[in-house]
Structure 1
Amino acid sequence: MSGTGVDAEALTAAAVQAELAALADPADAVHLQRFFKTGPGEYGEGDVFIGVRVPQTRKAVKAFVGMPLSEIDVLLDSPVHEHRLAGLVMLNGEMARASRKRGGDAARQREIVDLYLAAVRRGRVNNWDLVDASAEFVLGPWLFERPRDLLHEFAASDSLWERRVALLTTFAFIKQGDASTTLELCEQLLVDRRDLIQKAVGWMLREIGKRVDPAILTGFLDAHAAAMGRTALSYATEHLTPEQRIHYRAQR
């Protein structure tokens, strides 16, 4: 079925789940559950894996282009991690197609964004790979030329995943040369010591230095390095000169 396309009546969540079940590897499932920290008290506690690697998932869903959003939502609500990832990859594709239409299909984009936000808010985009594979591709195009208050709301959320969604959405803006919202969110989350937020803050700052302007990065570090966590500062300074890294890390 994969890569060949399916009849319209077969564009269902159940068909995607069957495709993924055929690819599942129990040994990989055990490894993935450890890798994504699904044990008691860990950030992915209770998540369920069937053992399908990301490239396999991406290849499998290519056969299901055009699946109704209601069926994608079924995937997003699944307890199985790979099902949710498949749904997000498909949602990315739908957003890209809606964005490519002449003038953009705002109504379709809005529908996709609403579906995504509902999944985020009900805790279904709930691991770093799910956030990183979706936020910039779904919310990024929608918010680039719109008010971004939502991202500040997410950055203030008690949910680790909503805070990471806020940061990772801005990767789309950085790639367009706009560092403004990323800087605001990094300042807002400066004292957040959760490891996955520390890494996201440092990563996005590093990307500003690489893709927008190194002076913007060093300006932020001049103002905030002393208050940054060790992990965020390490990520942010990764591509600076050895002398700059020593200078900024000494500020802590």
Structure 2
Amino acid sequence: MLSRLAGLPSPTSLHPGDERRAGRWTSPSFSRRAQKGHKPSVITSQRSLGDLSSAIVAEIRNEIRKRARPENVARIKRFFKEEVEIRGLMSAQIKEVVKLAHPKVRGDLSLALEVAEDLVESGVLEEASVGIGLLQRMTRRFTPDLFDVFDGWVDQLTNWASTDGLAAGLISETVRLDLGRVERLLLWTASGNRWRRRAAAVSLVPLARRGEMLDEVFRIAERLMIDGDEMVQKGVGWLLKEASRRHPDEVREFLLRWRDRAPALVLRYASEKLPKGKRVLKTK
């Protein structure tokens, strides 16, 4: 049951730990920034972008209210240590709303960004899920400069679900388009914001799963291996676990070098996909 609770399935695999049991969530945060290179369509230009966006957002919120399941809220909240506003929709219901909303943005990325921003600023998890769902349908229109837009959104993140949705669902796409953006992710690892540090790791999860950018995975991980925040530890452990699918020997060697210093949680998560006899855990 919980695996079907609110949250649009992300392009990544299951989340680790409590996140995994809660279900798949995508709930990024957005900030208003002009999107260079993405001009409004003729239809959009007939009305102000803001007015059209507001109308679409109002329709989306109405659809979410109609599908609200208050009886699910308490169960979902158990998987968050932070305060998160939730309506209790099932994942299938989130998909329904995304499907209804997608034609309204008419393939206009600028409009979709405006809509998504308003939804996320509400602080309602399901609204953010719809916002990212719209953008995930438009990743073919992404350009590397969107990384700078997403960078500004990270400071608004308040929970692991939003962080993972933004990082694995959207930021990863911009990194794929311009691998040099990893240098920016490296800077994030020194941030005082726990969600920015987690995002630094999770942004490479889809790439790591495909066996790509192993050197960059290790560079990010090295800077987070002894992070004292549990949410960051889960993020870096998840990243290494995904990398181990294609590079088990290299990841195991990396973990062995860190076994004496890294938290047990990081080692446990990172070793999940390794053969039982080769998992690197804390020695008693």
Of 143, 151, 154, 1:117 maps to: 151
CA distance in 2, matches of 1:168, 1:16: 28
CA distance in 1, matches of 2:148, 2:131: 14
Match of 1:54 in 2: 91
Number of the residue aligned with 2:258: 224
**Residues 168 and 98 of structure 1: is their aligned pair in 2 closer, same or farther, counting only changes over 3 Å?**
same
Q: Is the 8 A contact 1:140 1:172 kept in 2?
A: yes
Residue 98 of structure 1: CA displacement?
Answer: 0.7
Which among 63, 75, 82 is matched to residue 19 of structure 1?
63
Deviation at 1:79, TM superposition (A): 2.1
* Range moving further from structure 2, 19-28 or 193-202: 193-202
Residue 184 of structure 1: aligned partner? 219
AA at the equivalent of 1:159? N
Number of the residue aligned with 1:249: 281
C-alpha distance in 2 between matches for 1:76 and 1:12: 14
Cα offset for 1:177?
1.9
Q: Which of 126, 142, 147 is the matching residue for 1:82? A: 126
Q: Residue deviations 1:63-87, cap 9 Å, x none?
A: 2226212222111211212112221
Letter in 2 for 1:185: I
Secondary structure of the equivalent of 1:133? helix
Q: Superposition pairs for residues 1-252 of structure 1, below 5 Å? A: 12-37=56-81, 44-45=82-83, 47-65=84-102, 67=105, 68=111, 69-94=113-138, 96-99=139-142, 106=143, 110=145, 112-121=146-155, 123=156, 125-144=157-176, 145-147=178-180, 148-174=182-208, 175=210, 177-211=212-246, 213-245=247-279, 248-251=280-283
**Which is further off, 10-19 or 78-87?**
10-19
Q: String of CA shifts for 1:125-181, please: whole Å, max 9, x gaps.
A: 322222222312311121233322221122111111111111111113212522122
CA distance in 2, matches of 1:166, 1:55: 29
Q: Indicate the SS of the match to 2:235.
A: helix
User: Given that residues 73 and 115 in structure 1 are in contact (C-alpha distance below 8 angstroms), is that contact kept between their aligned partners in structure 2?
Assistant: no
Q: Which has the higher contact order (CA 8 A, sep 6+)?
A: 2
Q: Is the CA contact 1:89–1:133 (under 8 Å) kept in the aligned structure 2?
A: no
Name the counterpart of 1:3.
Answer: none
- Rounded to whole Å, the distance in 1 between the matches of 2:233 and 2:201 is 11
CA distance in 1, matches of 2:271, 2:199: 22
Deviation for aligned residue 1:114: 4.1
SS of corresponding position for 1:51: coil
| Distance in 2, Cα, partners of 1:57 & 1:88 | 11
Q: Distance in 2 between matches of 1:60 and 1:85?
A: 10
Structure 1 pair 59/29, CA: closer, same or farther in 2 (3 Å)? Answer: same
**Where does the alignment leave 5 or more consecutive residues of structure 1 unmatched?**
1-6, 38-43, 100-105
Are residues 205 and 176 of structure 1, via their aligned partners in 2, closer, same or farther at CA, if it must alter by over 3 Å? closer
Q: Name the CA shift for 1:178/1:249 in 2 (closer, same or farther; >3 Å).
A: same
